[in-house]
Every structure is written in structure tokens, then in C-alpha cells.
Amino acid sequence: MLEFSGGIVPSAAILDASDPLAIEKAAGIIRKGGLVAFPTETVYGLGANSEDPLAVARIFEVKGRPRIDPVIVHVADPASAARYGRLPDLAQVLMKRFWPGALTLVVEKTDAVPPIVTAGLDTVAVRNPSHPAALALIRASGCGIAAPSANMFGYVSPTTAQHVAEQLGNRIDLILDGGPCSIGVESTILSLAGAVPSVLRAGGIPLEEIEALTGKLTVLIHAEQRPMAPGQLKRHYATQTRLVISAEAAQDLRPGERAGLLSLSMPGDSEKYAAVEVLSASGNLKEAAANFFGALRRLDSLSLDRIIARPIPEEGLGLALMDRLRRASAAETPPEADSGPPTAG
């Protein structure tokens, strides 16, 4: 079991997520209150037993995550979601269409959810992921799994097991390697707790697909001081290298500057940059999303002076990608101080 009292902690083992023995080992760790990084179709999650407040507290400690930021409970199927949230009729319709998949629903929570999971809110975020390893782990664990992204808080999200190992490998119990994430950005979060459905985070399910079922939605993805869902803080998904968004990137280059460029498609002025990452040669937004966080990590590893990102069309998955870029480029502000257990419990 991972200890938090100081000293050297061995690096977590990385096991093949397609191996049933690895899944059973990971499930045993979850049942005993440990932490397991596991693949989903969106990004890699850092999981703990959602009904064990001490285990969930370790997530916050390991990530350096502020206690005001709630985490998502991952469930094996729609029926399991009813243990953790009170599901209105619209939830049933949405689950039938989008689950398993990259849609998280925010609903009124039940008493099975400890306050630390919801940051003291009366609502809980629940999702039924589609990745076979995630589903196998949840079923074998016999509980919902509370899981934010498996990285240090505020940094670029992990889409491979190696990304997890680079940041958290010596701080958690086990990493399940399920290969690169197929979607590559976090789930879309839709709140059903208010009078009208509200989008709290753009993500892996384009808003247009949801609105085809629900009608026009209220979009509330802007920065919040008191997040109602993960991914709403002003600065998030950030590189260590300063990132700026510019439509005319080359005109912003400074004499002698080593700048990297993040672009949806190949730019005509690529020779002006120290490094260029093209998200999709054909401009395909699904391919761009799958490549997004990996491209940011590669640019961030090159000791560049700046990363310049060209805007992405805000349609389909482009809305989620631009949301990530805006938060990554926001001015840095320190998270709320965390001096102990949250007052909510």
C-alpha cells in the first residue's frame, strides 16, 4: 500500500490492462483503499473506491488537487448509477443514447456518496466509460470508482500509461496500460440538477449530438471560483511552458525566440518555429482531439520559450479543444489552500 508519511516509494508497476490477472490485482488495490491509474476512452483516470472517503482523500493529496474541485464517479452500467445519483427521466434517455461513453451526468447525489467526492455539493457527477479495461476494473472492484485525470493537478491530461508514470509513477499503487486513449479529451459534463439541462464542460461528446436529442442547451463552461464540476477552474490543462493563442502566430515571434507551434493542420510558415505539432493533416477534429494532449506534452518537453497555439474551429470537438487551450493560456493563480479534511466531511 502506498504510504504518505515520507521516505522513498517504489515506482508503481505498469501492467497490461487486457490481462484478467492485472485487472484482479488492480481491483484488490481499489477494494483495500489504494489508488490505481486506469485507461478510459477519454483520458487516463486516477481511481479510488468512491465510497471510501480516506481513499478518495489520497487522490487529492497525490494530485495536489484543491478540495473544492469535485470528482466523477465511474460506474459499470446505468443501473449502478442509481446507487450514487437520483436519475430523472431525461437521464434515462441520455444514458440509453450515450452510455457507455464520454458523457458525464450531474444529478442529485445519494447518501452512498461521501461529501469529499462532491466537494460538499448536493450533486454528483457520474459516468459509464466505454473502455473495456475501465469497465472490467469497475466490475471487479464491486464499487463505483472516483477518478479525476491521472496527473498532477492543473497540468496536461494523460492519454498514455507512460504519461501517468512520468508524473505519478512513484506516488500510486498500480498503472494499468490500455494503450493510447481513443478520444483524447475529457468527457462532456451535462448537469440535470437544475431547472434546465446545462453543459458544465465541453468534451468528448459534441454538444451538437446531445442537442439533437434534448434541444438547445444552456452552456456554462466559463471559469468558476466554486466549481460545480471538474474542469471549470480558470487555469487548467496547462503546460509548464507559457502558452498563448494567436491567429497570426508567426507575426508574434520575437527575434531569437525559440517558439513551438500547435496547429490543427500544417501551416505554411512551419520553418519559422523551433518545433511544430500538427493535430490532423486533414483537419479532422476527432483525430485532433486524440492527438491534442500528447502534442502539448511533446512541445512542453523541448525547453521552448513559448508555445503558440492557433485557434481551432469551435464546432464539434473543436469547442472542447479551444476550452482546453483557453484554460491552459490563462494567468496562473494558486489553488485554494488545503490544510486538512474539507469542512463538508
What are the pLDDT digits (tens) for 155-188? 999 999 999 999 998 999 999 999 999 999 999 9
User: What confidence score (pLDDT) does residue 247 get?
Assistant: 86
Residue 180, CA distances (Å) to 38, 39, 41, 123, 235 in order: 11, 8, 9, 31, 25
In the three-class reduction of DSSP (H, G, I as helix; E, B as strand; rest coil), residue 28 is classed as helix
275-278 β-sheet, strand order: 243-245, 306-309, 259-263, 275-278
pLDDT at 9: 39
Distance of CA 140 to the CA centre of its chain: 23
Tell me the per-residue pLDDT of 123-144, one tens digit each, with 9 for 90 and over.
Answer: 999 999 999 999 999 999 999 9
| Per-residue confidence (pLDDT) for residue 343, from 0 to 100 | 26
Domain limits of the chain?
A: 13-219, 243-329
Rounded mean pLDDT, 74-90: 97
pLDDT at 344 over 70: no
DSSP letters for 42-109: SS-EEEEETT-HHHHHHHHHHHT--TTS--EEE-SSHHHHHHHEE--HHHHHHHHHH-SSSEEEEEEE
**Residue 125, strand partner residues:** 72, 106
CATH 1.20.1600.10 matches 243-329: no
Which H helix or E strand runs over 190?
A: strand 188-191
Q: What is the pLDDT of residues 241-289, one digit of tens each?
A: 999 999 875 667 888 899 999 999 998 888 899 999 999 999 999 999 9
Q: Is 243-329 in the same CATH topology as 13-219? A: no
Give the fold, CATH level 3, of 13-219: DHBP synthase (3.90.870)
**pLDDT at residue 45 is higher than 90:** yes
Q: Which of helix, strand or coil describes residue 199?
A: strand
Report pLDDT for 195.
87
Q: What is the DSSP letter of 12?
A: P
Confidence of residue 112 (pLDDT cuts 50, 70, 90): very high
